[in-house]
Chains A and B, each alone.
Chain A
Amino acid sequence: MKDFPFTEKKDTRSGFGAGLLELGRTNPNVVGLCADLTGSLKMDAFQKEFPERFFQVGIAEANMMGLAAGMTIGGKIPFTGTFANFSTGRVYDQIRQSIAYSGKNVKICASHAGLTLGEDGATHQILEDLGMMRMLPHMTVINPCDYNQTKAATIAIADHEGPVYLRFGRPVIPNFTPADQKFEIGKALILNEGTDVSIFATGHLVWKAILAGHILAEKGINAEIINIHTIKPLDAEAILKSVAKTGCAVTAEEHNRFGGLGDAVAQVLISNTPVPQEYVAVNDTFGESGTPDQLMEKYGLTENDIVAAVERAISRKK
């Protein structure tokens, strides 16, 4: 099992803020919109440096999505910022009609996704956003794993023509991906090569998968760990190539077990190479208040849950 050294822990939302600031300096068409959460989204540096290209919308997310759609007409590349809950469920119809169906080049940037939002509780902890966004035709869905990758993804999506949902979060986590790693939309990244099981992880669960990989190695299990930062379009080729070698799969995501990464991978497997698959995901329930670590443990999203899922998957191999 490879080591993944890191020098510091950082939040993925700060990666977004840094990426947006860099885009402001390199791409004059990039504009930012925020619904009264500029500090939480780390958009304040962009706002300060490019006030004429930043639009404070107030607490009006539906309007923000419509404004962003309109701003693409005339050539701008709008990046909207608010919490993941208010970026998706609250404005699904606006995204569906004015952005996705209309094919508009809007980047929907969503922070505080999932349980790791913590103490604010279930009203804000959306666990259904990947599913909602994945179901929309034309939509690209990205959930990067650390600060560096979120920054790289933010920069990359500006060059992608079409609507994108970019999901990130609040907690500080190990920043281990190379700072100079180019972000390729739709290209899964093999973090550790293995032969016994394929662990497909996204977002904050990628680091948990690495921790699980070390525990599994001590047990003599050689796990292949793949970072699925792009959930749509899904890298089916990488998934099938990996399970051809390992013969079973575990998916890990900070999301409801319905509609997210697990279901996306299952669709690929069942249509091509059916192999045992186990889900590490929230079991069709809402979250609650608590610290991020407490919540990840209570709802079954730790490295130990991944280890247990791997053992179940391996035991089901013929």
Chain B
Amino acid sequence: MNPHNKSIEELKDIASQVRRDIVRMVHAVNSGHPGGSLGCTDYFVSLYFKIMNYSTDFKMNGEGEDLFFLSNGHISPVWYSTLARAGFFDIKELATFRKLNSRLQGHPATEEGLEGIRIASGSLGQGLSVAVGAAQVKKLNKDNNLVYVLMGDGEVEEGQVWEAAMYAAHHKVDNIIATIDLNGQQIDGSTEEVMDLGDLRKKFEAFGWTVLETSGNNFETLIPGLEQAKAETGKGKPVMLLMHTEMGYGVDFMMGSHKWHGVAPNDEQLEIALQQLMVKHASDY
């Protein structure tokens, strides 16, 4: 059971709240990664408020619940906001993001004991391996819950991703749903310019995965896309959901450009962003 199980209308409200948290968090410390965070907001909100079976009473071993791993750890703002809004820790703690003595490190970590996080990530390409290992243990433990993992599209330039992809198919790890955030951008430019990823659908199909595609910035297609991915589990193959998003989604001047990968808005830009993201909730931290 999802502890919230919200309607699509409610998901939209939560997503705009999370997006406001994101721009505030990165603005407050003048650092962090708003672009990918805004682009993946609807995915995080879908998982934590609709799709995943979990408890906010966090337990590291995750037995009896779905697990989520973030491999592209730099989009930590969206994860932290979603976790706080879902009830893992106090929303006020978002104000400590990237500050000294905070549990909300620049990239996600377990060292400070932040609820909801099971592995450190940031150095790219490692999360799929971790998720596949966790999924195999679920099978060993006869735990029928699923393992979700998100990667960036630029991230699949790391070779370890393909080691893990080959392994997951060989070992028939069919209780995992991996998602790649296809926003087409990375730090130095578009993925097409920097390192053309080619046809990821064909590549993952050739590696033995079931591959699905969905829009990642539209709940009307994202929720059915995730439900379809769930329906494809348990069939002997790992499941890949290629998710088309727009970097910076929701803030017009951040959209569609790699320039907002790792840059924070200034005071004026923050105000414009917040207006576009409908400031109205009393619960804003």
Contacts and interface: CB of A to CB of B under 8 A. Distances in A.
B160 A102 contact: no
A103 interface: yes
Contacts of B136: 55, 67, 70-71
30 contacts: A52-B140, A62-B159, A62-B163, A63-B129, A66-B128, A66-B164, A67-B136, A69-B130, A70-B69, A70-B131, A70-B134, A70-B137, A71-B133, A71-B137, A73-B118, A73-B119, A73-B133, A74-B137, A74-B140, A74-B141, A74-B143, A75-B63, A94-B126, A94-B160, A98-B119, A98-B129, A98-B130, A101-B109, A101-B111, A102-B110
Nearest to A104: B119
Nearest to A138: B111
A102 B141 contact: no
Contact of A71 (B121, B134, B170): B134
Interface of B: 60-63, 67, 69, 109-111, 118-123, 125-138, 140-141, 143, 159-160, 163-164, 166-167, 170-171
B65 to A, nearest CB: 11
A58 B134 contact: no
A66 B133 contact: yes
A243 interface: no
Contacts of B63: 74-75
Given A67-B129, A69-B133, A71-B137, A57 B61 contact: no
A66 B158 CA distance: 14
B123 A93 contact: yes
A101 B143 CA distance: 27
Contacts of B130: 66-67, 69-70, 73, 98
A74 to B, nearest CB: 4
Contacts of A68: 133
Interface string A95-106: 011100111100
Given A71-B133, A71-B137, A74-B143, A63 B164 contact: yes
B123 A97 contact: yes
Interface string A51-65: 011010110101111
A2 B63 CA distance: 53
